[in-house]
Amino acid sequence: MNTQDVLGELLYIGIVAEKGRCYGRLWNIKYRYIIRKHIEVLIDLNDVLLSDNYVNINNALHKLTFLCEKYSEIGKFYNISLNIDAIQWDSQGNNYINVCQLMKKMLEDLQYEVSKIVINNNEVYSLLCSLHNLPRVFLGKDKKTLCKLNQHSITEEEALTYAYDNMNKGERIKYSIFFPDF
C-alpha cells in the first residue's frame, strides 16, 4: 500500500468526521475530550506524511485504532479491516509538501482552539471547513488503502483554492504564506 494514499485517506475521513460532528452537537466535556484526542492523532498522521520517513506509521496507526476501539463515535467513521502490522508499506515521497505544511499549521491551530476553556465553535468549524478538502490530493479511484474510500482526487491548486475560499479574513492573513498566488 502506498503510505501517502493511506495517510491522506485517514486525514480526510477524520477531518470530515469532525466537521460534521462539531457543527451539529453540544460541546459537552466528553466531546471536548474526544475531539482533542482525535486531533492529536490527525496531527501524528500528518507529521508522518511530512517527515518523509515512514518508520512511525505503525505507531500513528495504532494510536488511531486504539482511539477507534475506545470511542465508537470515532471508530464508526473509519472502516479499517486489515491487520496493520502485516501491511507492506510503499513510500513514494511526498509530492504535496505545501498542502501538508498548511494542514500541520491548521491542525495545530485547531488543537489550540479546542483546548481553550471557552471554545469558539465558529472558529473551530471554520478551520475544519478550510481543512477538509486538503487531504483529497492524496485520494483517487482504485487506490488500495485501509478504508477503501475510493473517492476522486483533486489537484493541489483546487485543494488550496477551496481552503482559501472557506477561510475568514483573519485566517487568510494568518495563512497567507501558503497562498502566494491568491
Least reliable range by pLDDT among 19-23, 42-46, 92-96: 92-96
Question: What percentage of residues in the chain have a pLDDT greater than 70?
Answer: 86
Least reliable range by pLDDT among 19-33, 56-70, 74-88, 90-104: 74-88
For residue 74, count other CB atoms closer than 10 A to its CB.
21
152 contacts 139 by C-beta, under 8 angstroms? yes
Say how far apart CA 17 and CA 37 lie, in whole Å.
Answer: 14
**pLDDT, mean over the chain:** 86
For residue 9, count other CB atoms closer than 10 A to its CB.
25
Which pLDDT score, from 0 to 100, does residue 3 have? 80
N residues, the chain: 182
Residues 6+ apart with CB under 8 A from 10: 45, 61, 64, 78, 146, 147
How do residues 122-180 score in pLDDT, each as one tens digit? 899 999 999 999 999 988 777 777 777 777 889 999 999 999 999 999 999 999 999 98
pTM, two decimal places: 0.89
How do residues 65-85 score in pLDDT, each as one tens digit? 999 999 988 888 887 766 676
